[in-house]
Amino acid sequence: MTSSLTYLWLEAKRQWRNRQILIFRLGFPIAVYLILNATDSDAPPSNPGGTMVAIAALAAVNSGLAAGPSLGDERANGWLRQLRTTPLRPSAAVAAKIVVAMSFALPSIALVAAVAGLVGDNEGTALGWAQWLRLVGLMWLATTPITAVGTLIGLTFGGEAAHGATTLAFVVLWLLGGIFTSPDNLPDTLAAISRALPSYGVAQVGESVAGGQALPAAALVVLAAWTVGAGALAALAWRRVVTR
């Protein structure tokens, strides 16, 4: 147990030390929010929480997929094989990557929500403190399946391919996953896909909190299914990746 924590702690220190990645992970969603806020501030929000929830979900995707390139690089340079010669359990290694990605997702989501509360025209200012905390906390927990997807991508594609696959997943979740547009605006097939994507679940959780409604059961099922499915596949991929 302590050995798993040591690995987790080292992973966290390593990734938080990289300033460039830190700026990208925390700064990018804020920049997107500020741009959108400056361009369409007159339009009424189409959903509870409006732009704030959508961009907080974008922040969740952006940080949640972070394990992909990191694992892809470690797979390519042989570090994962080196770890495989030690008693480190594959499940502990995968869990650590997920937790570290989660450690980026929390401040990333919170910063978007904070900026929205400070400069946003409608949505963030309407929330009380308790609701704001609930929004950030629940959207953060809903990010778990996205971190599992990132881990799975990193273990399935090595090196450059992992970077490419992560970007592709990011674009798909952004454009199709209920962030860029609601599934209601999509044709039936795409709408069904959209509602089954984890980013849609994250956005749904945010909207329900912002709108003062109960958490949507369908979205929670989708999030749980992605967490279990991608997490289990990632643990399997860890074994396969390093064993020839």
Partner 1 sequence: MRIDIDKPAPIATFDGVTRRYGHVTAVDGLWLQIQRGQTVALLGPNGAGKTTTVELLLGLASPDQGVVGLFGGPPADAVAAGRVGAMLQDAGLPPWARVAELIGLVRSLYPQPLPLQDTLRLADLEQIAGRPVERLSGGQRQRVRLALALAGSPELLVLDEPTAALDVDARRSFWERVRAYVSAGRTVLFATHRLEEADAVADRVVVIADGRLLADGTPEQVKAQAAGRSTVSVAADGDLPRELLERLPAVETVRQDRGRLTLSTSDPDATIRALLQHAPHARGLEVTRAGMEEAFLQLTHQEGATP
CA-to-CA dists, residue 180 to 8, 32, 96, 172, angstroms = 33, 12, 30, 10
**CA nearest neighbour of 92 among 2, 4, 1:** 4
Considering the complex, what minimum distance in angstroms separates the CB of residue 69 from partner 1? 12
Positions in 74-93 near partner 1 (CB under 8 A): 74, 76-79, 81-82, 84-89
Task: Answer yes or no whether residue 160 interacts with partner 1 by CB under 8 A.
Answer: no
Considering the complex, what minimum distance in angstroms separates the CB of residue 133 from partner 1? 31
With respect to partner 1, which residue has the nearer C-beta, 88 or 191?
88
Task: Report how many residues bind partner 1 under the rule CB under 8 A.
Answer: 26
Angle between helices 2-17 and 19-39 (to 10 degrees): 60
Considering the complex, what minimum distance in angstroms separates the CB of residue 45 from partner 1? 40
Task: Answer yes or no whether residue 13 interacts with partner 1 by CB under 8 A.
Answer: yes
Alpha-carbon gap, residue 141 to 101, rounded angstroms: 12
Task: Answer yes or no whether residue 2 interacts with partner 1 by CB under 8 A.
Answer: yes
Considering the complex, what minimum distance in angstroms separates the CB of residue 239 from partner 1? 9
Task: Answer yes or no whether residue 23 interacts with partner 1 by CB under 8 A.
Answer: no
Q: What is the DSSP annotation of 136-200?
A: HHHHHHTTHHHHHHHHHHHHHS-HHHHHHHHHHHHHHHHHHTTSSS-GGGS-HHHHHHHHTSHHH
Task: Answer yes or no whether residue 242 interacts with partner 1 by CB under 8 A.
Answer: yes
Task: Answer yes or no whether residue 44 interacts with partner 1 by CB under 8 A.
Answer: no
